Every structure is written in structure tokens, then in C-alpha cells.
Structure 1
Amino acid sequence: MIIYSCHGAAKQVTGSCHLITCNDRRVLIDCGMFQGSEEVERANAEPFGFDPAGIDVLLLTHAHLDHCGRIPLLVRRGFRGRILTTAATRELARVVMLDAAGLQEEDARRAQRNNRRGEAVAPPLYTLDDALHALDFFGADVGYDKTVPVVDGVSARFLDAGHILGSASILLELDDGKQHRRMLFSGDLGNPGRPLLRDPTPAPPADYVVMESTYGDRPHRSVPDSVDEMYQAIRDTVNRRGNVVIPTFALERTQEILYYLHRGIAGGAIPPHVRVFLDSPMAISATEIFRRHPECFDDGFLDELQHGDPFAMPGLHFTRETAESMAINNVDGGAIILAGSGMCNGGRVRHHLKHNLWRERCSVVFVGYAAEGTLARRIIDGAASVRVFNEEIPVRAQVWTINGFSAHADQPSLLAWLGDAPRRKVFLVHGEYGRGMQAMQETLAARGVGCQLPGLHEPIKID
């Protein structure tokens, strides 16, 4: 018997986690963190919906926090199996998990310092020691397009998903002795035509497909138009003698924005005297990892690498240390500040919002997805003020939302990736229930494709 169950990103965007049971062996695909409102994030500490000690192998699609962020907790609660993924994902996951652990420890210490009533303070979800211990379970790196044995009756093939460095869709061959089924997990799919990474590998034939639906309800704006709008936002803000704050995801989005800033300054679309601060230790480390994995790059980007550093530019400052980050607050104008996290729920970007969001001559430029309940989403949705570090900050800066930079495929690209091959069923996950997920379900149904939206922890027999 083959059973599939979804233990995260079920009728919501974050927390991706999927379980396949075949021949009484258990294979987990991803183990991500829930992100959003405080209520959503409380789910991170809840039981997984399965016994971590009973998982034989974890297959990791990519290193974003909502796909790998609970792996240290999985190990802490008893997982002792292998973790298989690509070389680039393994390196990035190390950075992401250690950074997440450090932030959780820091938040716990801050809560303890601010504890005036003597109430019990929640401990961090996991510690730096937990994250380091989790790294011991990563096995040999998996290359693209190579079939690897997983457990008895299960093999896997990793396909380039074009989402971030090392990202993969995973095709499982499942054989329980009575039937053979092919089940494809999309992971997060990249937006085709972007400059750094290859386009996603189209979905191969498979009986069942578990597909993300983040932007299942709409197309993206074109990349050239999005780049032009970002340049316009920067020029307008610099002319007002303000700062530009760009909340960025450390993996791939930051590198892509650096690439376009490099081109903008070199081509005259951005004033040459502007200062650029990459204020994210994780993004700095990720940029270094990028340079070590040319096997993931688009051919055109590989050619550019032969002629110089496409991320470098005059006035670029990498700020790893806290003191360097704090010094940016003294910059009155003419700066572009890239800092994480992209959804503004953690990281150094909150400090820069605190110092710039209330200033009319400044701008905040959002270039990625913001889940419901996040600080980024509240700003995007037009809040007059937002709470940052227990202080109410008025939103007076100009707010720009540019969705053409998204690392997620839009609706036309999702449909093109899926193709017209017959499927027994498509399971839609990783999307907003009332938006992308239901819109994609209706679109697929109109095409005669059987579709299901799994419930959290719901066991589904694969026949």
C-alpha cells in the first residue's frame, strides 16, 4: 500500500512537508517552517503529525526556510535517517538553519530581557547545537537527472526546478509489490527567463503530481518592466535624498537584485554615486556559495562570469558585523539597503524599516512574495503604521511592490511546466487557499485534470 499525506503547506503557503509511506518505509519530502502571523508560526512547535523517529529518509527540494527550517527540530525529536539533496542545497541549508537557530536564540534572549512580569518565556524552537547536529545526517550529494535508491521500493530522481541555487523537483518511483506508481513533487518552481539560473525542467510523465500554487491565480509582470520600475524607484528616491530599503530573501533573490544593480549602475540607469549595502550575513555567505556552483547556472550567466564579477559594483559594502549594520542608520540618504528577511518577520531589515519607514523621502521596495500576517504584507496592504520592535512606526515612505522578480512560477508557467500529459491526479499545495490554490484548481478542472487540495495530516491512498 502507498499512502501520501501532507503535513505542511496544506491549503496555505508555508511549512512544506510531505510524507510517502511505501512497504512500511517512510520517506519525507521537505520539513519546512511555517511563516506568517504569530498564530501561524505557533504551529512550528506543534507535533509533526508523524513520528520523526519513524522516518527513514528525508528528500530536500531546496534550502528556503519554509522547506528546510524544521529539520533541526525533526532531529531533536528523534529523526535518525539520511537526508538527500543536491550539493548546492546542502551548502545553503547549512547557512539557513544556522541563521534561523541564531535568530531564535536571539529572540528568546530579547524576550527574557523584556520580561517584566516574571512570566515563563518560550524557549527557542531549536538551538545552534541542534542545527549543527542536523547537518550530520546529510548524506552524499545528489546530482540532477540521476536516479538514486532511497528505501526498499522507492527511488528518486532530482530535476532542476530553476527556483533557487540547487533547487529540485523530485520524481519518485514507488513499488509496493502490487503496483508501480510515479509521483512527482514540484518543490517550488522558478520563473522562466531569469538571468542567473536555468529554466525549470518540464514535468516528466507521472501518475500523481504534488504541485505548488503560490501564483496559481495570475501572471507576473515582465522582468524587463520590473527592472525598469526598480530603477525608477531608486532614481526617484535618490533625487529626494532618501534611502531605498529592499527587503530580500538571502537565497537567489539577493543575488539577482545585485546583478541588476550592477547592470543599472554600469549602464547609467542608476546614479553612479549611490551606495549599496548588503546587510545580511546569510546573503553574503549565499553569494559566496553561488560562485562555487556553476553547474546550476544558465549558459548566458556562465558566459558573463568569464568577463568579470556580475555582482560587483562601485560603492558596494558587505556588512557582516552588527556594528557595521548599525552604522548604516547614520546614512541620511543616497543608499540602497538590501537586508533580510524578505517578509520582514525577522532579521536586520526590521532595524532599517524602523529608521526609514517614517521618512517621506525614503522608499521601501518589495521584490518578493509576502505571506498573510507578515510585516511585509501589512505594509504592502497599506497599513498607516506598523509595530516594529514594540514601537509603532508610521508608514510615510513610498512603498513599491514589484512582483516580476518573483522566484516562483506564475500561472501560465505552472501550466506550461505541468504540460498536457495525462495524470491520475494533481495535488495542489503551497498556495493561499482563497487565491492561487483555488484558481489553479478551477483552471485544471476546466482542462479535465483531476485535482485535490489535501488537508493537513490527511492520509490519501495512492492507487
Structure 2
Amino acid sequence: MATITFLGAAQEVTGSCHMLESPALGRVLLDCGMHQGGDAVERIQDEQFAFDPSTIDAVLLSHAHLDHSGMLPKLYHEGFRGDILCTRATAELLSVMLHDSVGLYLRDLERTNIRNARRGKPAVEPVFDMEDVEGVLKLCRGSLYGERVDYGPAGVVCFHDAGHILGSAIVEVVLNEQSQQKTLVFSGDLGKRDSVLMNEPATLQQADVVLMESTYGDREHRDEESSLQQLRDILQQTWRRGGSVMIPAFAVGRTQDILFHLGCLHYQGELDNWQVFLDSPMAIAVTRVYDRWLDLLDGDEVRHLSDVQKTSLETFLPTLNLAIDTEESMAINRIKGGAIIIAGSGMCTGGRIRHHFKQRIWDDRNTVIFTGYQAQGTLGRILVDGAKRVKLFNEEYVIKAQIETLGGLSAHAGQGGLLDWIGHFQPAPRTLLVHGESRALDGLREALWDQQQLRAEIPSRGQSIVY
């Protein structure tokens, strides 16, 4: 008998974490992610595990995004010493993601404690530090897609390409107990079939239980070509107004897609004279990781890079400027128009994008382009939902910049892609929907019944099932 307990991303999008307990495998976590939204220091201080980390035998990590991996340093800090199984590319990205995330947390915590000292409040102790990051990275065991890894007394783990970001995986777990074989498949985050750079998500055909993401379970994305035309139109309109464009950067995946698309526009003669700035040290580091793993990425786009004799995303766009230190970031403020600024973070929860908003969001010549999902409680979601004013650095700003969303550049499958993916399983497995807000979960469950007569379940946080 195996038990799954849903500890995060159950009837919510962020904080992916599910516990699998079985005599064949031991006690393992599927992901160990961070919730997103609100004040980062308060959010991290409030994160609590519903288990003793020292009793966890392993973590099966679907990919490096922080809402799937961000609590690994806390897990280590509180006693976890098991293996972290993931793909090799995920292991490399994880180093970049966790060093950046924990560095930002510690700097924010330092500022919080300075304010607390002025107000006579006690200092807040960190829940993890850089030593915990180094400890996490030493526990990583990377494998290739399709490689079957024996684990536990009688378990087998295999990662399949999820097509979401570099290294992202569908996690297949086979348990052999009392002469019976049981298969669990955890989708992780599934990519779109027409995403640039990424391969299509792998399709599996057999499972007893499937945990499937539902982020966009109630809707479809624009197709890629429509989104590219929208991007062309937004850039042309903003150029004519004499404005600049701000793009909150999802450091892994979306930034690399945007750089590729802008490079294509440049070679087609459609980029005008925009100066492009990548103002995110993490996104720069991640782009260099992507360049080292180009052979994993989609063949058509990689061939396109070769066709123009550019072997990396970083050099594909000749007008690209890299802003690594704070002085280079601040220098962008002197450019009043004609700048495309790609800056962290993707949901505007922190990072340099907020400083650029302070300089430009009140100017109606400018445009903000969102390229991915904005979680509830984040500044990005507030802007997408149509707020007229926003508070930045304790000052209020009127929002006059145009707010645009390129839905077709999402790294998640829409409803059709999710239905197609689950439809390959024969017979239909027990299906549990995770990683989605209520509307998306309900929409996908209804579509699964209407189109495939599959009765999906929507587990709540803390719920357990036995299979």
C-alpha cells in the first residue's frame, strides 16, 4: 500500500509539495516548493513543514522553479540528508536559483532587522542560509531523461521531458510490492506543444495514479504566432509613443524565449532601434546554463541559432546589453525612451523590476508586458487585474503605463494540451488535479468528464489517499 499526502499546490498554484510513503520507496517528497506572494521575509518565516524533515528519505524534484524547489534549503536546515533526484540540467539550474533566492532573502532579512532595531523590536533569525544551499546541492543526484534509477527497497524512478523549462521532468515512480507493480506519474509542470526552444512534453501510456498540474486548466493560450504579432504591435506602438518597455523576467524559460523572439525580429528587420537590457544577474546566469544544454532543446530553434552563425542565446541578439551590477542597472534610468528592459522578478515580488516601475510606470508612453502566470497576492497579479495605483518603496504611484499580457508565451500547457496529455493513458488512471486555482481546477475537471468521461479528483491541502 502506498499513501500520497498533498502538502502544497493543493487548490493553489505555488508551493508544490506532495509526500509519497511506501515500503518499496520509503518516505519521499514530490517537490519541495515555496509559496509566492506578499512580503518575502514574512512568507518564508511563516513556512512550516507538516512533517519532520529528518524522516524524509528523498526528494523527487520535477524542476528548478522556486515554487517547486525553494524550500529545499529549509528542509536541509531542519535535518534532511536524503538524496535529491532530478535531471542533470535541473541540478545545474538549481545552483543558480537557490543562491539567488537565498541571497535576496538574507538581504531582505537584514533590512527588516535594521527596521526592527529602530523600532525596538527583536531581530528575526534566518530560517536558512548559504550553507544550507551548499548542503542541498551536494545531495543532488542528476540523471538523464528516460534513465531508470533503482531507489529504495523496491522502487524505480524515471524522469521524462515535461517541455516546461530546461531540465523539467514528468516524474514516473514504479513501486514493486508483494508481487504487485504500481505506477505513479507526477506531471510536474507541463509545457505547451508549440513552445520555442522546448520539446513537446513526453507522453506516457500507463499509470495507476496521476497527479496532474492544472494552472491553465480552464482556458487556452493564444497560439505562438498570434502572440508574436501582438509583441510586434506592442513594440511598434510603444516606439511611436517614444516610450520604453518593461518585461518582468521569469529567469528560467521565459527570459530565454523572449531573447530568442527579439533576436528573430532583429534578423527580420522588425526591431527598430530598440536597445535591449537584460537586467537580472540570475537570468543572465540561467541563459548561460541554457547555452550549455542547447542539445537538449528543440531542434528547429537551435538550428535557427546556427543559421545566423550564433551559437548561444546571449549572442543571438546583437543589441542585447547585460546589466550585472547595480550601477549598470541604475544607468538604464538615464535612457528615457527606446529601451526594452527585461528585469527580475517575473511576478514582481522583488528584484530590479520594481525599481524600473518606480522610474517609468507613471508615464503613459511606457508599456509593461507580462509573459507568464501571476500568482494571487503578487504585484504582478495586482497590475494584471487593473489596479490604478500601486505602492512601491513606501510611496504611491499612479499607473499610467500600458499593461499587456502575452498569454501565448506561457510555459504551461493550456486546457487542450492537458486533455491531450492525460488522454494517452490507457486505461484511464486515477487522476488528481493539483497546482491550480479553484476556477482552473473546476474547469479542467468538467472538461475531463465531458470529453473523456474521466472523473478527476481535486484533493485539499493535508488530504491523503491510499492506492
The normalised TM-score by structure 2 is 0.95
Instruction: Tell me how far apart the structure 1 counterparts of residues 353 and 381 of structure 2 sit (CA, whole Å).
Output: 14
1:226-305, aligned counterparts within 5 Å?
A: 226-271=227-272, 273-305=273-305
1:38 to partner: Cα distance: 4.6
Stretch moving more, 194-203 or 173-182: 173-182
8 Å CA contact 2:231, 2:406 repeated in 1? yes
| Paired residue secondary structure (2:171) | strand
| Paired residue secondary structure (1:162) | coil
Instruction: Tell me how far apart the structure 2 counterparts of residues 78 and 170 of structure 1 sit (CA, whole Å).
Output: 25
| Paired residue secondary structure (1:171) | strand
Q: Which residues of structure 1 form unaligned runs of 5+?
A: none
| Paired residue secondary structure (1:336) | strand
8 Å CA contact 2:145, 2:161 repeated in 1? yes
8 Å CA contact 2:277, 2:340 repeated in 1? yes
Instruction: Tell me how far apart the structure 1 counterparts of residues 178 and 322 of structure 2 sit (CA, whole Å).
Output: 55
Instruction: Tell me how far apart the structure 2 counterparts of residues 44 and 426 of structure 1 sit (CA, whole Å).
Output: 33
Paired residue for 1:176?
Answer: 177
Instruction: Tell me how far apart the structure 2 counterparts of residues 39 and 261 of structure 1 sit (CA, whole Å).
Output: 32
1:72-151, aligned counterparts within 5 Å?
A: 72-115=73-116, 116-139=118-141, 141-151=142-152
Identity rate, percent: 43
Deviations 1:307-329, CA, capped at 9 Å, x for gaps: 32263223210111111111111
Match of 1:369 among 370, 373, 378: 373
1:444 to partner: Cα distance: 1.6
Paired residue for 1:429?
Answer: 434
Alignment size in residue pairs: 459
Instruction: Tell me how far apart the structure 1 counterparts of residues 306 and 340 of structure 2 sit (CA, whole Å).
Output: 27
Change (3 A) 1:301 1:190: same
Q: Is residue 415 from structure 1 mapped to residue 419 from structure 2 by the alignment?
A: yes
Instruction: Tell me how far apart the structure 1 counterparts of residues 40 and 129 of structure 2 sit (CA, whole Å).
Output: 21
Paired residue for 1:350?
Answer: 354
Change (3 A) 1:317 1:376: same
Q: Is residue 405 from structure 1 mapped to residue 409 from structure 2 by the alignment?
A: yes
Deviations 1:274-313, CA, capped at 9 Å, x for gaps: 1000001111011110111134211112322333226322
Change (3 A) 1:152 1:450: farther
Instruction: Tell me how far apart the structure 2 counterparts of residues 225 and 123 of structure 1 sit (CA, whole Å).
Output: 49
1:44 to partner: Cα distance: 6.3
Deviations 1:156-196, CA, capped at 9 Å, x for gaps: 11100000001000111012326321110000000111220
Change (3 A) 1:18 1:204: same
Match of 1:458 among 424, 443, 463: 463
Paired residue for 2:327?
Answer: 323
Paired residue for 1:209?
Answer: 210
1:17 to partner: Cα distance: 0.8
Change (3 A) 1:17 1:164: same
Match of 1:383 among 360, 382, 387: 387
8 Å CA contact 1:247, 1:343 repeated in 2? yes
8 Å CA contact 2:77, 2:127 repeated in 1? no
Deviations 1:308-360, CA, capped at 9 Å, x for gaps: 22632232101111111111112111100001111000111111111111111
Change (3 A) 1:29 1:295: farther
Stretch moving more, 31-40 or 449-458: 31-40
Change (3 A) 1:294 1:315: closer
| Paired residue secondary structure (1:439) | helix
Instruction: Tell me how far apart the structure 2 counterparts of residues 284 and 40 of structure 1 sit (CA, whole Å).
Output: 25
| Paired residue secondary structure (1:114) | helix
Instruction: Tell me how far apart the structure 2 counterparts of residues 153 and 123 of structure 1 sit (CA, whole Å).
Output: 41
Stretch moving more, 48-57 or 305-314: 305-314
Aligned AA (1:167) = S
Change (3 A) 1:65 1:39: closer
8 Å CA contact 1:22, 1:154 repeated in 2? no
1:155 to partner: Cα distance: 0.8
